[in-house]
Amino acid sequence: MRSFLAMALIPLLLACSGKNEVSRQAQAFLDDYTQTYKDLQYKAAEAEWKANTMIIEGDTTIQAAARAAKEALAAFTGSTENIEKARYFLERKDRLEPLQVRQLEKILYQAAENPQTVADLVKEKIKVETEQVKKLFGFDFRIGGKSVSTNDIDDILKNETRPSRRLKAWEASKEVGRPLRDGMVKLQALRNKTVQALGYDDYFSYQVSDYGMTTVEMLELMRRLNREIRPLYRELHTYARYELAKKYGLKKVPDMLPAHWLPNRWGQDWTAMVKVEGLDLDSALKTKTAEWLVKQGERFYVSVGFEPLPQSFWKKSSLYPLPPDADYKKNNHASAWHMDLERDVRCLMSVVPNAEWYETVHHELGHIYYFLEYSRPEVPILLREGANRAFHEGMGSLLGLAAMQKPFLAHLDLLPADAQTDEMRTLLKEALNYIVFIPWSAGVMTEFEYELYANDLPADQFNRKWWELKKTYQGIVPPSPRGEEYCDPASKTHITDDAAQYYDYAISYVILFQLHNYIAKNILNQDPHATNYYGNKAVGDFLKKIMQPGATRDWRELLRETTGEDLTAKPMLEYFAPLLDYLKKVNKGRKYTLQEI
């Protein structure tokens, strides 16, 4: 009997031994890959940081260094050897640990961006991308022959009441698209061809696959989200047409919103339309410095249980506008950077003391603290990112929303504790941010990049398709015809440097309200419309549960585990439900022009 048992155990022991050996070999490969990847990634991040913070007219050395560093990283991540090894081990995934499988899948995903089986294409793609970034962020915006900053343009669009002045600012903001058009045509082809070398249909489907979703599934999700918020957006669109016509002294109310009427270059945020009495944060912040805003952001995170930011953050970040006499420019789009996938975290911003930058600071620091929380030994380097890309944005937006709520502001003495505010008007202002953003993100940007990559949108239809989508989803039209000599989609930075990922932001807003609803009702026991996260360590503990695993967990499981629900827009719709009834009364007798989608 004992002999029979021994004989029966031999195959099992051999199988276990085989599994252990494959797992050991896979781990040795992962360790070697990770070390080289980390070193090359840090060098590329440093070069890219310099290219974004020191844009010098006529200089080519900085851009060349950034390109060389990106090429070195691309050559490694896309190397045929690494692709073959990752595939070899994934074919034996039943003998591997779950974390090993996740890392190997990430290696193959990264390889598809720059496969060295098409090395010449990859090199050309990096070259064009680097040139595009320089053109985009080094562009000299001008109004009436005078150079202006994007902050100047934004100020005009938020505050100017003369339509002619607004028109000049809006048109100036779109001129950047012209020099970017040819590069955009090249990138359309280059991005598609590189990922197709590893079996993806196109660049859009490649980016979507990071969610574990197909293109069809992602488009269905985005279109459903647009349909769900359409009744409220229709009311907001009608309200904006009539209120802005009145503001600009015009008797005729247009059926669609002229793009230059809106307080944002792309019509993605209309909050500046509405002032809330007793909630004038801009005025309260005029007495503060830009440095105060960033330090206050840190104080908030520390108050809920996070550590102070590393000293290197303050030394290495680029947080404030360049002086007027600076002989170089920098990227004007706020961003957070995880340089070494460890503790070197930085922000690139141009903070001035106003309400928009106050919220942006809290948003960007949300990314920074997310980086820091998953930078721990339990999370492999290759999985140090959000549970999905939208989780990162959702976390940042969540903290941005929390920092703007009245009890939070009163706690900071930015509002009197007994300040009387119109709660419905406050909700309207919030909807002009969060609801208005959905047709732009889930509609215009997602559908345009789908057409661009999945359907190979012809170059002579870029602007036509862009404005067709803006009319359909946003109900926005150009002030005058915009021919194909323009390239208005290229005026949006993400088309160049964060391509085919804009649905991240739409999903992030769904996640934001799902998390906020849970925190308000289950941790704070407060009305979701009036919360104060400040100083509540239980809020910090909840956020850390989501942040700390990085990408080691399936994002759907993590969301269910922390909130008790699958991804749902229900909390977002509930939050704004009172506003829908209010706007129907305000808009009574007005003409509705926005069609169903």
Asked if residue 569 has pLDDT above 50, the reply is: yes
Query: 335 has which bridge partners?
Result: 348
Helix axes of 355-374 and 389-404: crossing angle, nearest 10 degrees: 140
Asked if residue 9 has pLDDT above 90, the reply is: no
pLDDT in tens, 182-235: 999 999 999 999 999 999 999 999 999 999 999 999 999 999 999 999 999 999
- Alpha-helical segments (H) within 145-249: 150-159, 163-174, 177-196, 203-208, 215-247
pLDDT in tens, 101-154: 999 999 999 999 999 999 999 999 999 998 998 899 889 999 999 999 998 999
pTM metric for this prediction: 0.89
So where are the chain's domains?
18-132, 215-275+287-586
Query: What is the arithmetic mean of pLDDT over 404-409?
Result: 94
| pLDDT of the residue at 405 | 93
Confidence of residue 419 (pLDDT cuts 50, 70, 90): confident
Which residue bears the tokens 């509405």?
Answer: 274
pLDDT in tens, 255-302: 999 999 999 999 999 999 998 888 889 999 999 999 999 999 999 999
Closest CA to 147 of 382, 325, 389: 325
**Beta strand spans in 251-370 (E):** 257-258, 335-338, 345-348
Question: For the chain, percent helix, then strand, then coil, each to nearest 5?
Answer: 65, 5, 30
For 240, residues 6+ apart whose C-beta sits below 8 A from its C-beta are: 257, 261, 262, 270, 273
Between the CA of residue 409 and those of 168, 338, 365, what are the distances in Å? 36, 29, 18
- As a whole number of angstroms, the distance between CA 89 and CA 101 comes to 8
| pLDDT of the residue at 6 | 42
- Percentage of residues in the chain having pLDDT higher than 70: 97
Q: Specify the range with the lowest mean pLDDT, choosing from 52-56, 200-204, 307-311, 447-451.
A: 52-56
Confidence of residue 23 (pLDDT cuts 50, 70, 90): very high
Phi-psi region of 305 (alpha: psi -120 to 50; beta: other; left: phi over 0): left
Asked if residue 387 has pLDDT above 50, the reply is: yes
- As a whole number of angstroms, the distance between CA 188 and CA 456 comes to 8
pLDDT in tens, 498-531: 999 999 999 999 999 999 999 999 999 999 999 9
| pLDDT of the residue at 10 | 38
Residues composing the chain: 597
Look up residue 520 and give its two tokens.
């308000």
pLDDT in tens, 319-374: 999 998 999 999 888 999 999 999 999 999 999 999 989 999 999 999 999 999 99
Mean pLDDT of the chain: 94
CB-based burial of residue 8 (10 Å sphere; 0-12 exposed, 13-18 middle, 19+ buried)? exposed
CB-based burial of residue 120 (10 Å sphere; 0-12 exposed, 13-18 middle, 19+ buried)? exposed
| pLDDT of the residue at 562 | 95
Closest CA to 478 of 295, 263, 256: 256
Asked if residue 2 has pLDDT above 70, the reply is: no
| pLDDT of the residue at 378 | 97
| pLDDT of the residue at 418 | 83
Confidence of residue 18 (pLDDT cuts 50, 70, 90): low
Confidence of residue 480 (pLDDT cuts 50, 70, 90): very high
Asked if residue 45 has pLDDT above 80, the reply is: yes
Confidence of residue 13 (pLDDT cuts 50, 70, 90): very low
In words, the CATH class of domain 215-275+287-586 is mainly alpha
